[in-house]
Homo-oligomer: A and B are copies of this chain.
Amino acid sequence: MFSHNLLRSVSSAVCKKCEGLVPKFEAIFGNEYVKTTESFRDHYGHDEGHFPNRPPDIVLMPGTVQEVSAAIRLCNEQRIPVIPYGTGTGLEGGVTAFKGGVCLDLKRMDQMTQLNEEDFDCVVQPGVTRKMLNEMLKNTGLWFTVDPGADASICGMIATQASGTCSVRYGTMKSNVKNLEVVLADGTILYTRGKNRRPWKSSAGYNLTDLFIGSEGTLGVITSACVNVHPRPPALSAAVCSFPDVARAVETVVNIRHMALPIARIEFLDEKQMQACIAHSKLNMEEKPTLFMEFHGANERDVEEQTALAEELCILNQGIRFEAATDTVGMNQLWQARHMAYYATMSQRKGARGFTTDVCVPLSQLPKVVTETRKDIDASGMYGTIVGHVGEGNFHCIFPVVEEDEKEMQIIWGLSDRLVKRALAVGGTCTGEHGIGLGKINYLKEELGEEGVHLMKLLKKTLDPNNILNPGKVLSE
A interface list, Cβ under 8 A from B: 116, 118-121, 141, 160-163, 167, 171-172, 174-175, 184, 188-208, 210-211, 213-215, 219, 230-234, 254, 257-262, 296-299, 301-302, 305-306, 309, 360-364, 392-394, 427-436, 440, 443-444, 447-449, 451-453, 455-456, 458-459, 461-463, 474-475
Decide: A230 near B189, CB < 8 A? Known: A205-B474, A363-B118: no
Tell me the smallest distance from the CB of A89 to a CB of chain B, in Å: 14
Closest B residue by C-beta to A297: B260
* A299 cross-chain contacts in B, Cβ below 8 A: 305, 309
Are the CB atoms of A305 and B309 closer together than 8 Å? no
Looking at the assembled complex, report how far the CB atom of A307 sits from the nearest CB atom of chain B, in whole angstroms.
Answer: 11
Contact partner of A206 (CB less than 8 A), chosen from B206, B392, B456, is B456
Copies in the complex: 2
Contact A305 B301 (CB under 8 A): yes
Extra 11 A-B pairs, beta carbons < 8 Å, given A174-B201, A199-B394, A302-B306: A190-B452, A191-B451, A194-B448, A199-B360, A199-B393, A200-B394, A202-B429, A207-B214, A299-B305, A301-B305, A459-B462
B260/A440 in contact, CB under 8 A: no
A462 nearest CB neighbor, chain B only: B462
Q: List 20 A-B contacts (CB under 8 A).
A: A118-B362, A119-B393, A167-B201, A191-B449, A191-B452, A193-B448, A194-B447, A194-B452, A197-B429, A198-B362, A199-B361, A202-B429, A203-B433, A204-B436, A204-B443, A204-B447, A205-B456, A207-B207, A208-B448, A458-B462
Q: A360 to chain B: which residues have CB within 8 Å?
A: 199-202
**Complexed CA–CA distance, A432 and B198 (Å):** 12
| Cβ contact within 8 Å between A429 and B199 | yes
Nearest first, the 4 A-B pairs at minimum CB distance are A210-B210, A202-B429, A118-B364, A200-B392
Q: State whether A201 touches B362 (Cβ < 8 A).
A: no
Q: Are A431 and B202 closer than 8 Å at their CB atoms?
A: yes
| Contact indicator A393/B200 (Cβ below 8 Å) | yes
